[in-house]
Amino acid sequence: MARRSRDWNVGLRQDLEDPVFAREFLIAAFEEGLTLQDALATVIRAIGVTEFAARIGMASPNLLRAIHPRHNPTQETLSRMLAPFGLRLGLTPIRKKPRKRRAA
């Protein structure tokens, strides 16, 4: 496996400070199968836990607990963490593929 250079990580961190890029990163990471909690943890750590906690009005230890994989944040907490990126949780119906008919 290729090792990531320090410059690559620094570049990603700088990119994630842009709210538009961070939003697209969260959407893409979730669509690729990363858990929402892991994707949020990456972005929040890039921005800075203390700064992000102040932005959403949450204590830093509580924010760290919410993004830790062993904890299960509430829907309200996830909504608070997604709001600065212009995102919210929701449900979308699955589109059914039309069934192919067999030849008789």
pLDDT digits (tens, 9 = 90+) for 85-104: 999 998 888 888 777 777 66
Q: How confident is the model at residue 9 (pLDDT cuts 50, 70, 90)?
A: low
Q: Is residue 94 part of a domain?
A: no
Q: How many CB atoms lie within 10 A of CB 18?
A: 11
Phi and psi torsions of 29, nearest 5°: -65, -40
Residue type, 104: A
Q: Is residue 3 part of a domain?
A: no
Q: Is residue 65 part of a domain?
A: yes
Paired tokens of 20: 């538009």
Mean pLDDT, to the nearest integer, of 59-68?
A: 96
- Under DSSP, the state recorded for 4 is P
Say if residue 7's pLDDT is above 70.
no
CB 20 within 8 A of CB 45: no
Q: Is residue 97 part of a domain?
A: no
**Structural domain boundaries enclosing 51:** 8-85
Mean pLDDT computed over every residue of the chain: 87
Say if residue 52's pLDDT is above 60.
yes
Q: Is residue 36 part of a domain?
A: yes
Q: Is residue 92 part of a domain?
A: no
Count: domains in the chain: 1
